[in-house]
Amino acid sequence: MRDTRKRHTMDLPFTHKPGRRERHLRRRHRNPLFAWPLMEVDPETLLAAQKADHEEMEVFRIAFLEQVQKAVDLPPDAGSEAVLTLKEELEKLYEQACGLPEDHGREKEALGRLISLIMKAVRKATGDDSLARKELQDEEQARAIHFRLLDQPLVADILHPRSPVDPDELVPTLLSAGERELEAALEVFDVDQLALVVAQGRKLLEGLDREQADTATARRRLAQIEKELDSKTTLLQ
């Protein structure tokens, strides 16, 4: 008998640069880490996710243009509250851009430049206040790290306020990741969280081994997590 399930899998129309909803469906599709026996994403669910992702992208584009115009129109004597509110909105847009379908590198670059200009003005306003300058420097370093991590889609998906990754799907998601994106994601977790991930990961793989599922790649990701846990534990000692 012909394997229609395999043919259906090959024909499922995933896009090349998906948004966060479609991206997570792609992780789950016929992935033994999420379900055994294997679960398939149906075309209707995929289409709904793609539609929602693109609707969010259109909302982002409108908000992006509005906030850029606000930055252009901001008067030189604007109060600190208006300036900081604008900065927060620009930061939220950058975070949102990281979870959208298609490539938004140009928008992210523009947002980064605007945030830098605002921070330059804020630093100038602090004058000779060394404490305030130190706080701003710490904030800029934290933002740079945050934005760097968000450039990995896995991190953007996990940290999104409406993350498609349910808590009980976190371990399968991490074990399904590529080496580089997992490396970035592990920076987000503390020692206790990583210890829990390792324990749950071992239990999950033990169960799949009994089912003779292919877990070779997942075991490499688990070893990567265990190494990160050992490293962070050592730093705390």
What is the three-state SS of the chain? CCCHHHHHHHHCCCCCCCCHHHHHHHHHCCCCCCCCCCCCCCHHHHHHHHHHHHHHHHHHHHHHHHHHHHHHHCCCCCCHHHHHHHHHHHHHHHHHHCCCCCCCHHHHHHHHHHHHHHHHHHHHHHCCCHHHHHHHHHHHHHHHHHHHHHCCHHHHHHHCCCCCCCHHHHHHHHHCCCHHHHHHHHCCCCHHHHHHHHHHHHHHHHHHHHCCCCCHHHHHHHHHHHHHHHHHHHHHC
Sketch the domain layout of the chain as residue ranges. 47-151, 163-237
* Residue-level pLDDT at 8: 42
Q: pLDDT of the chain along its 237 residues, tens only?
A: 333 344 444 468 899 999 999 999 999 999 999 999 999 999 999 999 999 999 999 999 999 999 999 999 988 888 888 999 999 999 999 999 999 999 999 999 999 999 999 998 888 888 888 898 999 999 999 999 999 999 999 999 999 999 999 999 999 999 999 999 999 999 999 999 999 999 999 999 999 999 999 999 999 999 999 999 999 999 988
Determine whether 6 is exposed, middle or buried from the number of CB atoms within 10 Å of its CB (0-12, 13-18, 19+). exposed
Q: What is the largest CA-CA distance in the chain?
A: 79
Distance CA 137, CA 64 (A): 26
